Amino acid sequence: MSEFALTRPKRLSLPAVAAGALLLGALVVGTVFGARLGGLMVVGGLLGMVLYHAAFGFTAAWRVFITERRGRGLRAQMVMLAIAVLLFFPALGAGSLLGQPVYGFVAPIGVSVLFGAFLFGVGMQLGGGCASGTLFTAGGGNARMLITLVFFIIGSLIGTAHFAWWQSLPAFQPVSLVKTAGTGGGMAISLALFAAIAAFTVVMEKRRHGQLERAAKIDVGNRRWLVGPWPLLVGAVALALLNFATLALAGRPWGITSAFALWGAKGFTALGGDVSQWGYWQSSWNAAALEATIWRDITSVMNIGLMVGALIAASLAGRFAPSFRIPLRSVVAAVIGGIMLGYGARLAFGCNIGAYFSGIASGSLHGWVWLVAAFAGNMLGVKLRPFFFKASASSIAPVKGS
């Protein structure tokens, strides 16, 4: 055997390549556009890893409660929200965090939010995931979710075209629990609501099954933290902490879908279209984002980081194996669901992350309204699933953690 054969370096593994790409990308973005933006790309990567390894989904958790009255996933969401509120409200009440001004996602409540959240809820069940679910499962190698993502972007673009008309419909002014009830009062109200929802799921689950579902025991040895899976509650805690890290670095909470609207607009513009006269793009904030590179956009950078983080997690777990053999009905559901997700998110001022998670963490009443309307949409979506999927409506979606 030649000396060359003995000393030939091993081929780089996919996890190493993906991790290197994330760190290199964060370094370049941080150098060119600012250290905070580079740090946010790393936070996005960590979010992707947490979502994948903990299989922390919103769509499946809601569907399982609707169809089977199993509430473990919903209770984990309440834990996540409770931790976020305890972290967010003092900072939002003070108006600054670590010397940087911070603000929450607080939006009006009206017809647009109700219809948009309901439509988003239906789209969750047809598309097979929410906003975070679509990103991390697509990044983790699910080819069907790439279809959902493409039409999520298209739906978001269409939503910006109609945005001004929807905002002309009746609506109440934004309401912030932090401002109306104070930091302490807002936390007390929020925690009481979380406890009430968790208690309701316990009652409903025991009424149906006689006892609560026991979580599968997971070995949390040294290697398990790399390859997964992680306990659901670990995911809940980690997501709350990483959203708070986003607040500290970006000055505002974690969001996802505004980037989809931006990507759609830039793609449409590249094809010769013009969105500058659409009401959504005439605000100074959105107009500036449209003119700049996406690498200056916080949400875009975090979304890209999230997908790469999910790729790292999937490859570490040995689950990155994209398959393009997708049933036609499933493709149709992904197309319809993706458009509903994108359109609904624009009308409702966000998705399960920007409106539900970060909205409630910001003390916004619209986050609670979004939850009720989106859950109602999920109930309809569950009933529609049998038309598109061979499995029963109560089955888990064909995507991990969706």
Q: What is the pLDDT of residue 12?
A: 59
How much is the average pLDDT of 165-191? 97
174 has pLDDT over 50: yes
2 has pLDDT over 60: no
Q: How many angstroms separate the CA atoms of 281 and 244, rounded? A: 28
Work out the pLDDT band at 395, boundaries 50, 70, 90. very low
Q: What is the pLDDT of residue 385?
A: 95
| Percentage, residues of the chain above pLDDT 90 | 84
Nearest to 100 by CA among 58, 40, 151, 60: 40
Q: How many angstroms separate the CA atoms of 8 and 26, rounded? A: 30
Write down the mean pLDDT value for the chain.
92
- Give, to the nearest 10 degrees, the angle between helix 35-53 and helix 131-139: 90
Q: What one-letter code names the amino acid at 15?
A: P
Q: What is the pLDDT of residue 257?
A: 97
Tokens of 258: 């505004």
**Are 353 and 132 within 8 A, CB to CB?**
yes
Q: What one-letter code names the amino acid at 139?
A: G
Beta strand 109-110 with 171-172 is antiparallel
Q: How many angstroms separate the CA atoms of 223 and 229, rounded? A: 10
Query: Given CA atoms 2, 4, 5, 7 in this order, what sign does their dihedral have?
Result: positive
b (16+ CB within 10 A) / e for 88-106: bbebbbeeebeeeebebbb
> Which DSSP string corresponds to 60-107?
HHHHHHHHH---HHHHHHHHHHHHHHHHHHHHHHHTEETTEE------
How much is the average pLDDT of 84-91? 98
| Percentage, residues of the chain above pLDDT 70 | 92
> pTM of the predicted model, to two decimals?
0.92
Which residue in the block uniquely carries the two structure tokens 């989106």?
374
Q: How many angstroms separate the CA atoms of 136 and 311, rounded? A: 8
DSSP single-letter state for residue 176:
B
Q: What is the pLDDT of residue 13?
A: 84
How much is the average pLDDT of 351-363? 97
Work out the pLDDT band at 227, boundaries 50, 70, 90. confident
Work out the pLDDT band at 86, boundaries 50, 70, 90. very high
Work out the pLDDT band at 245, boundaries 50, 70, 90. very high
Q: H/E element holding 109?
A: strand 109-110
How much is the average pLDDT of 29-34? 97
Tokens of 161: 């075209």
Lowest mean per-residue pLDDT among 109-113, 141-145, 351-355: 141-145
How much is the average pLDDT of 156-177? 96
Q: What is the pLDDT of residue 393?
A: 40
401 has pLDDT over 50: no
Query: Given CA atoms 194, 338, 227, 47 in this order, what sign does their dihedral have?
Result: negative
Q: What is the pLDDT of residue 222?
A: 61
267 has pLDDT over 90: yes
Tens digits of residue pLDDT in 372-394: 999 999 999 999 999 998 754 43
